[in-house]
Structure formats: C-alpha cells, structure tokens
Structure 1
C-alpha cells in the first residue's frame, strides 16, 4: 500500500510550493556570504593579497639583541664612505693619526733620560703643583713628534699606492699562490725600503750627517726586518684575504700603531748606543792623547 498522506509528501520533498521573491533574495545573500555563487573574473581586477613569510634572519636572530653593535659598525661604514670618495686625503689623515699615537706611546714607554733627571732635581712639591696636562706636555719631546708626523705624512700616499698596486697584481688561478706571492713581494721589497726610509729620515731630521745616517740604517734595518717577519706576513695575508679594500688601511693602521711604537723605540735605542759608542771613542782618544803627552814630557825630562 502506497502512503498518500501529506506527511509522506513532506518527507519525500515533493511538496509544491509557490515561489516567494523574498525567500529567493535571502537565498542569494546566503550564497554570497558562504561563497557558493559563481562570479565572473574581471581581467583588470587586482590580485588577492598573499601573505608573506617572515625571513629566516628575523625568526632566528632577534633584532633588539644586536642593536648594541650599531654604534660600532657606523664609524667603520663612515670611514669606508669617506675612503671611497677621497682616498688620498683619508690616507694622509689616517697616517698622521697612526704616527702621532705611535710616537706618544713610544715616549710614554721609554722616556728620555734627561727628562728623568729634571724630574729628580725639581722635587716633589713642584710636581704636585703642576697639573697633569702641563706635566704631560712638558714630558713630551715635541721635536721628535714633529719628525714622526713629517715622516708619516710623506709616506702615506706612496704606501697606499703600493698596496693598491699589490692588490691588483699577482692574481693567479690559485688563491693560495696569489696570497703567498703578495706576502713575499711585500716582505722582500716594501718592508726593507720603508724601514730604511724611516730610520734614515729620523737621522737626517735630527741633524746627523750622511755617514752617521748610513751607520744608523746598518744598525737598525736588519733587526727591524727580521722582527717584521714575525708579524707582517700574517697581517698582510689576512688583510688581502678577508678585509675589503676600503677598510685595509684602517686595519693596517691599527696594527701599525704598535709597529711604529717599536720602530721609534728601536731608533731611540740605536741613538743611545751610538752616543755611548761615541763617548767611549772620545774617552779612548783622550786617554791616548794623554799617554802621548806624558811620553813627550818624559822624553823631554830624560833629554834634559
């Protein structure tokens, strides 16, 4: 028996209903909200926004923890910009700073003997009355500082040109061979020439004669070259391998402060040794003269 009741018709969904425009509008709005309506794509429509994934550096390295390095990086960036714009002037000023600091350090480490004698004679009361600036200024040998600045300023641009030429030369397919060649050429040519220039100019500007200057070079250049082999080959190799060209001068300048201190101390030590040798020679000459005079007197007495 087939049920013909109205309830069966409702369960089967076969009930006829009259169309209601209000219900149709509600159904369309519902479909739009649910995203079930079909819409035509316009060619000039802007693409939908796509979410971008944060870079790995942001997720792995927190930014606020590295903010304290910014004051350290900024002076180096400024130096690099100035170096690219005006390389010669930058090298000149950098060289003056390096030689000035090196001379001050050298004078602080090895103070002249005359200054120590003056301090001993003056007494403690006068030292207390002086300020630290006045005492520091009086202890400096400003003529020696002026010689150091003149030597450094004159060698700034030639030294920069040398290292610029060296960086553009001896570039082979093997990086190790190129680096070893650069280090060897620099150590065998530039280092002895520069050391000879440094000690020779120190002697000439101090008022020494040419023979005395040659003797100073003979006493100081071999020792300084041997000691430079302990430091500068490693510095040169690291500089050409890892340091960009605009920062090589400041990197070498920091190392050069200590090296200039050593050269200044070596020059003062050689000067002290020369003074001692000259005093010994003068004493020997005086003794020989006195002996000759005594012999002449004895001869005269014997003749009488």
Structure 2
C-alpha cells in the first residue's frame, strides 16, 4: 500500500514538472503587450464611445434673451394662466388694431382701439379654454388622424363662432342697430372663414406637433397679430361699404 502511494505521488510531481500551470492573467498580459498601447484595449480601462442621448433643446430655447423672455412667459403661464392669457390677448389686439389703422391710412382713432380691447377682454379666456379642450381631446393612436380631427373641429366650430363674435361686436359697439349688425356679419364672416383656411390649419398643425403646451398660446399670439390686422382691415372695409349703402358716406368722398 505504501509503495502504491509513493508511486501515485511521484506521477503527480512528474506531470506538474512537465506541464507547469500558468497564471490566468498571463494571456491578458501577453495580449496587452502584443497590441502595443494598452489604451487600445477596452479591458485596459479605455473609454468606450457611446451615442449622445441628451435631448437637443428646441430652437426657441436657444435664442439668448428671447429664450429668457419665453421661459419667463412659460413660468407665468403655469402659475397664472388666466391672467397671462388675458394680458397677452390685450397686447395682441392692441397691436393688430394699430397695424390695421396704419394700413387703412386713417388717422389714429382711439375709439377703435378701445373697441378692440373690449372684444379681446370678452374672448381671451373662452379662446384659451377652447384650445385646452382641443389639446386634451381627439387624441387617437394615429397622430395624423388626431391632427386632422383637431384642425377640422377647430375650423368647423371655433372659427365661425369667433368671427361672428368679432365682427358682430365691432358693429354693435359702434352703435349699429341689430339689422346693421347682422348685415356686417354677412359681409365679413364668409370671407374671413375662407381666408382663415389658408392660414390657421397650418398654424394649428405646427403648434400641436412641435410647440410645447405652455408656449402654444404665445406662438398663436404672434401669428394672431397679423390675423387681427387682417380682421380689423376687413371690418373697416365692410364698415365703409355699409355706410355707403346707408348713405352715411357720399360717393364723392374719398375712401381709403
């Protein structure tokens, strides 16, 4: 038995002497020295490039002082939405009326500006609530279907009601009778609705696609300055035509 044990130990020693075991990190060391620069090997601690996952800021948030103003507006919109909308609407209507009076070539009439501000005061909050409703509804799995539905509903429901209110109040606040108010609406609303289809579907689509919710009102407001200029201009032309029809302006009088 002792002889057998001595032989077994001898064979084990002989095998280890013929095939010495190598450390496990010998291969890695060899690989590192064979490649030359250890930083080329990811296992040596070199940084691995990864794709940039940081979201790019929208362009309107990278415009220096303008971005600061927009961010201040967004904070005000979140804290005091009704007050912000009311004041924004007054500014939009004021600028639109000034522009329209300049286009018509008339002398500045503060009474017209006051009428515009009163109309703005009555429409600012309902208009804001409408677009909140529009943003929270008609959201389908298909983004294209959602946008198409929002644009269609806005043009079919909001536009005729708002335009009727705008032109009707312009006539009413001017002291016209109810038949004259109705005549003003008939002269202006169909034309304004047709022309609104050339502008507001594209504005609505762009707004709901690319603009954050808190900035949609100010984006639409910038566009609305031009639109209010057009509405005021159209109202003035209808007012002149109505006065001509009623004999309030003689044909020999110059009309801007």
TM over 0.5: yes
Q: CA deviation at 1:210?
A: 0.3
2:243–2:249 contact (8 Å) kept in structure 1: no
Which whole-Å CA distance do the structure 1 matches of 2:77 and 2:145 have between them?
29
Q: Deviations over 1:177-201 (max 9, x none)?
A: 0000000000001000000000000
| Partner residue, 2:138 | 170
Which whole-Å CA distance do the structure 1 matches of 2:48 and 2:87 have between them?
47
Alpha-carbon distance change, 83 to 275 in structure 1, aligned in 2, over 3 angstroms: same
Which whole-Å CA distance do the structure 2 matches of 1:55 and 1:72 have between them?
33
Aligned counterpart for 2:63 among listed residues 61, 69, 75:
69
Aligned counterpart for 2:72 among listed residues 67, 72, 78:
78
Q: Which runs of 5+ in 2 are unaligned?
A: 1-44, 57-61, 252-256
Q: CA deviation at 1:56?
A: 8.1
Q: Deviations over 1:120-175 (max 9, x none)?
A: xxxxxxxxxxxxxxxxxxx3100000000010111000000000001000111101
1:111 and 2:73 correspond = no
Aligned counterpart for 1:145 among listed residues 95, 113, 123:
113
Larger Rg belongs to: 1
Q: Which runs of 5+ in 1 are unaligned?
A: 1-49, 62-67, 113-138, 284-304
| Partner residue, 1:215 | 183
Aligned counterpart for 1:102 among listed residues 96, 104, 112:
96
1:279 and 2:247 correspond = yes
Which whole-Å CA distance do the structure 2 matches of 1:97 and 1:222 have between them?
27
| Partner residue, 2:125 | 157
| Partner residue, 2:17 | none
Which whole-Å CA distance do the structure 1 matches of 2:174 and 2:47 have between them?
70
1:228 and 2:189 correspond = no
Q: TM-score, normalized by length of structure 2? A: 0.73
Which whole-Å CA distance do the structure 1 matches of 2:215 and 2:47 have between them?
37
Q: Deviations over 1:25-73 (max 9, x none)?
A: xxxxxxxxxxxxxxxxxxxxxxxxx99999988xxx9xxxxxx832221
Alignment of 1:247-286 (within 5 A): 247-279=215-247
Which whole-Å CA distance do the structure 1 matches of 2:88 and 2:121 have between them?
9
Q: CA deviation at 1:225?
A: 0.2
1:186 and 2:132 correspond = no
2:95–2:225 contact (8 Å) kept in structure 1: yes
Q: Deviations over 1:243-301 (max 9, x none)?
A: 11100000000000000000000000001111111229999xxxxxxxxxxxxxxxxxx
Alpha-carbon distance change, 150 to 281 in structure 1, aligned in 2, over 3 angstroms: closer
Secondary structure of the structure 1 residue equivalent to 2:247: helix
CA RMSD, Structure 1 to Structure 2 (Å)? 2.5
Q: Which moved more, 1:103-112 or 1:183-192?
A: 103-112
Runs of 4+ in 1 over 4 A off after TM superposition: 50-57, 280-283
Q: Deviations over 1:58-103 (max 9, x none)?
A: xxx9xxxxxx832221111110011000000000000000000000
Secondary structure of the structure 2 residue equivalent to 1:279: coil
Secondary structure of the structure 1 residue equivalent to 2:72: helix
Q: Which moved more, 1:85-94 or 1:72-81?
A: 72-81
Which whole-Å CA distance do the structure 1 matches of 2:104 and 2:239 have between them?
13
